[in-house]
């Protein structure tokens, strides 16, 4: 089944920012595939999206199971022949929230956080890159966070200076590095790679005190997923404004 419509894959697309990103992209006429660990939850999310007129499908994609990565690539190749948009949205937050616990952050928390937030993203992107190269203008969006900004973490008085969650912050800083390096490698192609900071969003991960609604939280991902050819490459962005690395 080939299609003239753009095709997007959104990891962790069954809830929160991922689901809203799927909804907003779908309303732009893009076919959305939502990568999910739990297929029943994925089908429920698809049913919700279809009520809004979105062409959506759930695909099994457990970020802890690399066998799913090649299976998704084969499915996309078979059904669509290419991938136009990859939104690396799935992520986890395992740190405590009460204080800076860097000196006591366990190896287990660090490994689990990096496995999902960094290593799996790199592997999935590398697996899907041949399909993105078949697009007339591939877009890769890595969902980062302002907490990945080493510059702001090192600047007394900055918005995040006292918000030190070591494993999560370091994993997003590493993800930003991946964005920079891959964007440079692909700079002479039609693919653009950028990092998105969604904002402090009212989701399960956002927790108490979050300031932005989910609709606003998805906007940066959607904007970077639908960039014109003149748009940025290798940027770190929140609602159209660059952030310091």
108-117, 182-191, 211-220, 223-232 — which is least confidently predicted? 211-220
Which residues form the catalytic set? 168, 172
Q: Where are the domains of the chain?
A: 7-239
242: left (phi over 0), alpha (psi -120 to 50) or beta: beta
pLDDT band of 4, cuts 50, 70, 90: confident
21-56 as b/e: b if 16+ CB within 10 A: bbbbbbeeebbbbbbbbeeeebeebbeebeeeebbb
pTM for this model (two decimals) = 0.95
7-239, which class in CATH?
Answer: alpha beta
The 10s digit of each residue's pLDDT in 195-208 is 999 986 666 655 56
> Up-side HSE of residue 150: CA atoms within 13 Å toward CB?
8
- The pLDDT of residue 94: 97
The yes-or-no verdict on residue 227 having pLDDT over 60 is yes
The yes-or-no verdict on residue 134 having pLDDT over 90 is yes
Q: What percent of the chain has pLDDT over 90?
A: 89
The yes-or-no verdict on residue 149 having pLDDT over 80 is yes
- The pLDDT of residue 73: 98
């Amino acid at each position: 089944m080939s299609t003239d419509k753009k095709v997007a894959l959104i990891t962790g697309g069954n809830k929160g920012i991922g689901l809203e990103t799927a909804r907003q992209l779908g309303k732009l006429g893009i076919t959305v595939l939502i990568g999910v660990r739990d297929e029943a939850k994925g089908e429920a999310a698809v049913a919700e999206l279809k009520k809004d007129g979105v062409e959506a499908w759930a695909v099994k994609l457990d970020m802890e199971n690399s066998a799913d990565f090649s299976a998704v690539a084969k499915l996309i190749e078979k059904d669509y022949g290419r991938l136009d948009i990859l939104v690396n949205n799935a992520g986890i937050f395992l740190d405590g929230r009460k204080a800076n616990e860097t000196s006591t952050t366990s190896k287990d928390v660090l490994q689990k956080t990096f496995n999902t937030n960094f290593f799996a993203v790199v592997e999935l992107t590398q697996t899907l890159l041949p399909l993105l190269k078949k697009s007339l203008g591939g877009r890769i969006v890595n969902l980062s966070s302002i907490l990945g900004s080493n510059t702001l973490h090192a600047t007394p008085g900055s918005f995040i200076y006292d918000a030190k969650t070591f494993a999560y912050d370091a994993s997003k800083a590493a993800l930003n590095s991946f964005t920079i390096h891959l964007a440079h490698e692909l700079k002479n192609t039609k693919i653009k790679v950028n990092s998105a900071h969604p904002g402090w969003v009212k989701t399960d991960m956002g927790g108490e005190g979050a300031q932005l609604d989910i609709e606003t939280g998805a906007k940066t991902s959607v904007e970077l997923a639908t960039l014109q050819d003149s748009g940025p490459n290798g940027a770190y962005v929140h609602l159209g404004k660059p952030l310091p690395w």
